[in-house]
Amino acid sequence: MRIAVIASGEPAVVENIIIADEDQVEALSRVMKRELVDADLLGLQVGDKRESDVWTRNIEGEDVSLPIIVSAEQDDNAVENEEEPEIPDGEAE
């Protein structure tokens, strides 16, 4: 699982993402002397911060609360961009 390593201090900031088995998290937290949380629950990334139990990400200078919801229009565009491009006539193999 992906684990967010939280820097001590206020605000709490994700300083790293590591991969570990769930049964290793508690021991790693003690050894690292850091809070560790499941990064996949909110899609945490390095630099995300927590203030008053609310996780945020700075996007274009604005703190946006997590999880970030993708609108249907943005989601449709993402699907369109994943489609294979058309090859003009005469260039196909």
Render the burial of 32-49: b for 16+ CB within 10 Å, e for the rest. eebebbebeebebeeebb
**What is residue 70's predicted lDDT score, i.e. its pLDDT?**
61
Residue 28 placed within a domain? yes
CA atoms within 13 A on the CB side of 90: 0
**Cα distance from N-terminal residue to C-terminal residue, the chain:** 42
Is residue 39, in this structure, part of any structural domain at all? Answer: yes
- Is 50 within the bounds of a domain? yes
pLDDT classification of 80: cutoffs 50, 70, 90 = very low
Within-domain flag for 64: yes
Give domain status of residue 92, yes or no: no
What's the pLDDT score for residue 57? 96
Looking at the chain, the whole-number percentage of residues with pLDDT higher than 70 is 73
User: Is residue 87 included in any domain, yes or no?
Assistant: no
Its pTM stands at 0.70
Give the model's pLDDT for residue 52: 86
39-46 mean pLDDT: 95
- The structural domain count of the chain equals 1
Mean pLDDT along residues 8-12:
89
Domain residues for the domain of 70 are 2-82
